[in-house]
Amino acid sequence: MTAEALGSLVPEDVRALLRTQSLRLGRPIYGRGFGRHASTRVGPGREFRDHRPYVPGDDPRRLDWKAFARRDRLVLRQTESEDELTLALLVDGGGGMGYGAGAEGKFTFAASIAASLAYLAHAQGDPVVYAMRGGPLPATTTLRLRRASESLATLAEALRHHRPSGVSAWTELLEAASHVLPPGSLVVVLSDLLDPGGRGRPEDDERMLAGLQHLRARRHDVLLVQVLHRDEVDFPWTEDRPLRFVDLWNQRPPVEGAALAMRSTYLEALQTHLRAWDDEASRRGLMLERITTNAPLAETIARLLRRLGEHRASLR
Amino acid sequence: MNFLAPAFLLGLGALALPVIAHVLGRQPPRDVPFAAVRFLPVAELVVSQRRTIRDRGLLVVRLLLLALAVLVFSRPALRHEGPLRVVAQVHDCVLLVDGSGSMALRLGGSPHLQHAVDQASAILDALPTGSKVGLWTSDPGGPRVEPTADPSRVREALERWVEDGAPRWGAWRLADALPGAAAMLPEVGGRPRYIYAVGDRFAGGSTELPADFAGIPVVPIPATEEEAPEHVALLGATWEPAADLDPRAVRVMTTVRRTGSAGEETPREIAVALHIAGEEVARTTVSLVPGAEQHVEFTPTLSDDAEVQATISIVDDDADPLPIDDERHLWLSAERGLEVVVVNGDPSELRAHDEVYFFNTAIAASQGSGHPRVVMRSMAPDQLEQDLRQRGAQALRGVDVLVLANVQAPAADVAEPLLAAVRGGMGLWITAGDRLDPKAYNASLLPLLPLRMRDAVEVGTAPGRAEARVEHLAPPVLSHPIFVGLRDAAGLETSRARKIVLLEPEAARPHDVALSFTSGAPALLTSTYGRGRVALLTTTIDRDWADLPLRPGFVPLVLGTLSFLGDASSNLAHRHVRLGEPLRIAGETPVMVSTPEGREVAVRPDKDGDLVFTETYLPGHYRIRQSGADASMFVVEVDPAESTTSATKAVEAPVLGETSSFVSKPQWRLLLLGLVVLLAIESSWRWRSRGVNRP
C-alpha cells in the first residue's frame, strides 16, 4: 500500500532524478543531531577546522602530535561538525487547491512535490515532519512530528487520500510549527497563496506573512512554493456565454458574468497580488518559487533543489 | 396603402417580445469552480449582462421577420382612386356580376370576368360603413350571397368563383338575372336599395339594363372602359347532304367573322380546318379585314353511314382573346335524316292535282337551308294497312313522321298498331280533304286526336255570309315550336280556305293551336300522345280546299311541322343546344348521356316525369344512350351572340349621391417573398454563429 501510494505520487522519472540529487542548503546549518549537512559548530567531522591549546580534561586522543612537535606545546585538532536537517512540509489542503484535473490538479502537483522532497530527505537520513491543512478546523490543527523513517509512509497515504476542501488556518499552523520545529529546520510551504484566509481579506495575507516571518526569526529557512494552475494565470475563457465562477473555498457567493469582459480586470488584480507577495517575501527573507502545474514535475523539483542549494542567507 | 384585415396589425405589439427576451432573458451560465474568485470583478458584470444586447444584426433580422409575418396576415393593398362611384349614404345593395360567354374575352392578359371582379371589389371597398351587400350572378349556377354587413364574404365568394374556373360561359343575359337580384333586396325600413350590375359593354351586358327594376335603381358598371380587342369567331355551323357530288358527300358550312373597327383595312389570313372523327380532313384559308365575314364550305365524303363527330376550328390562333367561339361541333351522317312516310289518300296522274305534290315540292326546296334533312317515302293507304296487319307497329319502325294526307281513316284493325307507334315516339300528321272520314277517325284514332272531328263544311255558306266564300288564316302563333326561327307570318295570314273540317270543342283534351282562321276555328293543332306528337291540319295540304301551298310561309310551315313531329322521335343529330341550356329528352325511362370529356351522366325523370339534362356546360359532342344502345346525339355550342364584342350604347345611369371609390391591389404576395428571403438570412446567420470557444 505504501509503495503504491508513493509510486503514484513520485513517478519513476522523478525517482531517477532524485537518485542523482541531494537536498542541501547553500549554507551551514545548526542541526540537532549528526547528519550530512555542513554545520556551523565544531564537532566529530572529517573536515579540519583549527587548533586550540590543550587544557586538562580534554580527550588525549584528539591531541595533534605533529603540531606538538612543531610548536612544542600541546594543541588539540578541531574538525567541522555535520548535522541533520529537519525538513518540515506544510501542505495546503484547502478548497482552493482542488482546482485542476488529473496530474495538473494543484493539490496533486503539490502532493507530488512534497512526497518527492520527503523521499529525498528520507534517503539522506534527514528527519521529515509534515502538516497538511484543510478541512474542518478542529480535526486538522495538530502538527505531527515524527522521524522520517516512520513518517514517509504515513505522509504518502495521507496525501493520496486527501480531498482538498475548507479553509487553511495558516496562522495557527505556523505558530504551532514555530514552537515544535527544532531551530534551523527547512520549512517548505506548498500552497497557491491566492487567498490564505479564504475570504479575500488582505489582513489574512498579512497574518500568514507574519507567521512565516516568525518562523524565519526562529532561524528556520522558509521556502514558499506557490502552486498555480495555468487557467489561473492566463484566464483563457473567451466565450460570450456567461459563466458562473464558484468559490472553491466555499466562502464567497458565485461570481457571474461574461468571461471576456472580466478577463483584463482579473489579470490585473492577480498580477498586483503576485507582485505584492514577491515583494513581501523578499523583504521578510523568504524564498518564493512560483510554479504552474503544467510544467514537468521533474524539472520543477530540480528547480526547487537548485534554489535551495543557492540559498546562502546567513542566520541572524 | 391600406389593410384588408387591419385587426392583424395588433400583432405588431409582439415585436417587443424578442427585445424584452433579449434584454431580460439570459442564457443559463456555465458553472466554473475557481480558486481565484477574489480577483474577479463582481457587481458590474452581473448588471451589464442583463442590459447588453448581443447579436444586434440577428435581432434586427428576427424583428423584421416578425413584422413581415404580421403585415402578410393583415393583407396590405395599394389603393388608388378609380372612376367608380357608389352611393354615399348607408344602403342595401346587390352586386350583379355578368357571367356570360363574352366575359371570357381577354383584355390586358385577364378575362373580362377578372376585371368585373376587380370592379366589384372596388365597390365593396367604397361602400359606406353599415351598408349591406349581397351577390348574384347571371350564371344560374354562379355564387350567391345573401346581403350581409361583411363585404369580405362577397369578396371571397367572387375570388373563389374565378379561381376555381367556375364560369360556364353560357349565353346569360344580365337583364334576365335582375329578378333574382331584386328578390334579394326586400324593402326593410325604407333603407335605400341599389343593384350594381357589373358586366361587359356588349349585347346582353351592363349597357342594356333598365334604369330600375321593381323599384330598385340599377347602376350599370362596365367591367372595363377599354376597347375590346379584335378577335376571330366561327358563327355557328350547319351541314346537309351533297348528293349531287356523291351519295355519301356532305356539305359542312360555317361563317368566319373578324371583329374590330371597320376602319382598318389590313387583311388577315385566317386558317379554318375541318376535323372528322379526330382527324383533319380539310383546311382552307380566308382573308378578312376587320368587321368582315366570310362563308366557308367543306364537302367531305363520309366513309360509312354511322354518325360521326365533326369539328370546325380556327387553327394557329392561340393568341385569340376569345377562344371559346373558335370551334364548332357537328354530328354528320351520310344516310340518317328525318324519315318521313307520306300516305297519299288522293293520288293523281296530274302532278299539280296530286295530294302531296306541293308537300314534296316544299321538302325538295328546303334541302340545304339548314333544316333537317328529310328522307321521304310514299305509300298508298292500303299498303300501309297491309303492312300494319302483317307486322304490327314494327311496320313503322324507324319512321320519324307519318303523314296521312287526305286519307279516309285507317281501318279499325290497324288502329292499335298505329296508336302504339305514336305512343313510342313517332310523329303523326293528319291533313284533311274530301276523302277524310271524320267519323272513322273519331272511331279508330280518337285517343291521339287533338280534338274530336266533325264534318267538313264550306266556309261562308252560313246564313248572311253568302258573299264571303273564303276564310282567311289569322297570324300564326309564333311562340309555337313549329315556328321556331320564323320572325314574321311569312305571308301565311294571306292564305284563304274554302272548306275546313270543324272540330268538337272539348276542354278535357289538351292541345295547342299553332294556326287558326280569322273566325277562330283552328287550322293547325298539335297534341302529344305517349312519347309521340300529333298534328292536325283542318284543311287540305294541296290546293283543293285552300291556297296555303301558294304562300311563302308554306315551306317553313311544312318543315317546321315535320321537325316538331320528328323531334320527339329522336333525330337530334341536327340539334344544337346552347351552352348552359337545359335539354329535354323525349321518353320516360332513364337514359345515359356521354359528355365530351368522357363522363357518363344518368338522366332520370324529374317530379314531372320529364327527362331534363342540365349539364350542358362544355361545348362539344354529346351522345344519348338508352338501354345500352345509342339513341341520339346532339351538340352543345356557344351562342353566336356571345361572339359579338362591339360595345353597345350605354343607357343613362341613375343619378346617385356620390362618394370617392378606391381600387385595391393586393401586395402581400410580394411580402411573402421577402419573408422567405429573411428566413434564409436568419438561418445562415445562426449557422455561422454556432461556434464558441471553450477552455
Coil vs helix vs strand at B192: coil
B142: number of CA atoms within 13 Å, CB side?
A: 29
SS3 A161: helix
Least confident interval from A127-136, A146-155, A166-175, B370-379: A146-155
Residue B35 sits at the chain A interface (C-beta within 8 Å):
yes
Interface check B692 vs A, CB under 8 A = yes
Contact criterion met (CB below 8 Å) for A24 and A83: no
SS3 of B329-386: EEEECCCCCEEEEEEECCCCCCHHHCCCHHHHHHHHHHCCCCCCCEEEEEECHHHHHH
- Cα separation, B522 vs B500, whole angstroms: 9
pLDDT for position B525: 93
pLDDT category at B313 given cuts 50, 70, 90 is: very high
CA distance B370 to B446: 35
What whole-number distance in Å separates Cα of residue A227 and Cα of residue A194?
Answer: 9
3-state secondary structure of A111: helix
Contact B33 A248 (CB under 8 A): yes
Query: What pLDDT is recorded for position B202?
Result: 76
Which of A96, A241, A247 has the CB atom closest to B30's CB atom? A241
Residue B135's pLDDT band (cuts 50, 70, 90)? very high
* Amino acid in position B452: R
In percent, the amount of chain A with pLDDT more than 70 equals: 89
Between A and B, how many CB-CB pairs are < 8 A?
A: 109
Q: Which residues of chain A have a CB within 8 Å of the CB of B29?
A: 241-244, 256
Which ipTM score applies to this complex? 0.83
Q: What is the pLDDT of residues A220-249, one digit of tens each?
A: 889 999 999 999 999 988 776 778 888 888
Candidates B661, B535, B651, B632; CA nearest to B219 is B651
Higher pLDDT, B434 or A128: B434
CB contact under 8 A, B36 and A195: yes
Starting at the edge strand that comes first in sequence, how are the strands of the sheet with B76-81 ordered? B2-3, B76-81, B662-666
Tell me whether B466 touches chain A (CB under 8 Å). Answer: no
- DSSP lists the bridge partners of residue B76 as B3
pLDDT of residue A140: 40
Average pLDDT over residues B588-617: 84
With cut-offs at 50, 70 and 90, classify the pLDDT of residue A3: low
- Best probe of the B interface among A104, A226, A230, A240, by most B CBs < 10 A, is A240
Per-residue pLDDT at A159: 84
* Nearest-by-Cβ selection for A265 from B41, B48, B693: B41
For residue B664, is pLDDT > 60?
no
**Whether the predicted pLDDT of B166 surpasses 80:** no
pLDDT tens digits, B443-483: 999 999 999 999 888 886 656 555 557 888 888 888 888 88
| Measured CA distances, A5 to A18, A134, A154, A189 (Å) | 17, 20, 10, 21
Confidence band of B199 (pLDDT split at 50, 70, 90): confident
Is B27 exposed, middle or buried, given 0-12, 13-18 or 19+ CB atoms closer than 10 A? exposed
- Chain B contact set for A98 (CB, 8 A): 33, 35
Could you tell me the pLDDT band of residue B165, with boundaries at 50, 70 and 90? low
Closest CA to B379 of B349, B345, B408, B354: B345
* Among A157-161, A263-267, B66-70, the least confident range: A157-161
With a cut of 90, say whether residue A216 has pLDDT above it.
no
CB contact under 8 A, A266 and B41: yes
* Tens digit of each residue's pLDDT (9 = 90 or more) over B11-63: 888 888 777 776 666 567 788 888 888 888 875 444 444 555 667 777 888 88
Residue B42 neighbours by CB distance under 10 Å: 16
Residues of B in contact with A236 (CB under 8 A): 695
Q: How far apart are CA A37 and CA A85, in angstroms?
A: 7
Residue A187 has pLDDT above 70, yes or no: yes
Place of cell 409582439: B14
Distance CA B557, CA B563 (A): 10
**C-alpha distances in Å from residue A221, one per residue of A35, A207, A262, B467:** 17, 18, 39, 173
Task: Give the mean pLDDT of chain A.
Answer: 82
CA distance B108 to chain A (A): 58
Tally of CB atoms within 10 A around A24:
17
Average pLDDT over residues A129-147: 53
Give contacts of B49 with chain A, Cβ < 8 Å.
Answer: 242, 256-258
Q: CA B605, CA B589: separation in Å to the nearest integer?
A: 7
A129 pLDDT exceeds 60?
yes
Q: Among all chains, which residue has been given the C-alpha cell 534554489?
A: A307
pLDDT of residue B167: 56
Within 8 A of A261 by CB-CB distance, chain B residues are 45, 48
Grouping H, G, I as helix, E, B as strand and the rest as coil, residue B602 is strand
* pLDDT tens-digit readout, B496-548: 898 999 998 888 888 889 999 988 889 999 998 887 899 999 999 998 899 98
| B33 lies within 8 A of chain A by CB | yes
pLDDT of residue B660: 47
Number of Cβ within 10 Å of residue B491's Cβ equals: 13
pLDDT for residue A138:
34
A178 compared with A151, residue with greater pLDDT = A178
- In angstroms, rounded to a whole number, what is the distance separating the alpha carbons of residues A176 and A88? 12
Chain A residues with CB under 8 Å of B25 CB are none
From CA B609, how far away is CA B666, in angstroms rounded? 51
- Give the pLDDT confidence score for residue B49 in this predicted structure: 47
Q: For B555-577, what is the mean pLDDT?
A: 72
Which helix (H) or strand (E) segment is B23 a member of?
helix B16-24
Distances (CA, A) of B393 to A230, B338, B419, B487, B692: 120, 19, 8, 38, 101
Contact B293, B257 (CB under 8 A): yes
B409 in Cβ contact with B445 (< 8 Å):
yes
Q: Give B-chain residues touching A242 at CB under 8 angstroms.
A: 26-27, 29-30, 49
Indicate the SS3 state at residue A196: coil
Number of H helices, E strands in chain B: 12, 37
Triad A136, A142, A144: Cα angle to 5°: 135
CA distance B51 to chain A (A): 12
pLDDT, residue B401, reads: 92
Convert the pLDDT of each residue in B243-261 to its tens digit.
Answer: 667 777 888 889 998 887 6
- Phi and psi angles of residue B252, each rounded to the nearest 5 degrees, phi first: -105, 125
Report how far residue B102's alpha carbon sits from residue B138's, in angstroms, rounded to the nearest whole number. 12
Find the mean pLDDT for residues B305-333.
Answer: 84
Q: How many helices (H) and strands (E) does chain A have?
A: 11, 10
For range A29-58, the mean pLDDT:
77
Paired strand residues for B600: B594
Residue position matching grid coordinates 449557422 = B687
Contact B577, B432 (CB under 8 A): no
Chain A interface with B: residues with Cβ < 8 Å: 95-99, 106, 192, 194-195, 200, 229, 231-232, 236-249, 252, 254-258, 261-262, 265-266, 269-270, 273
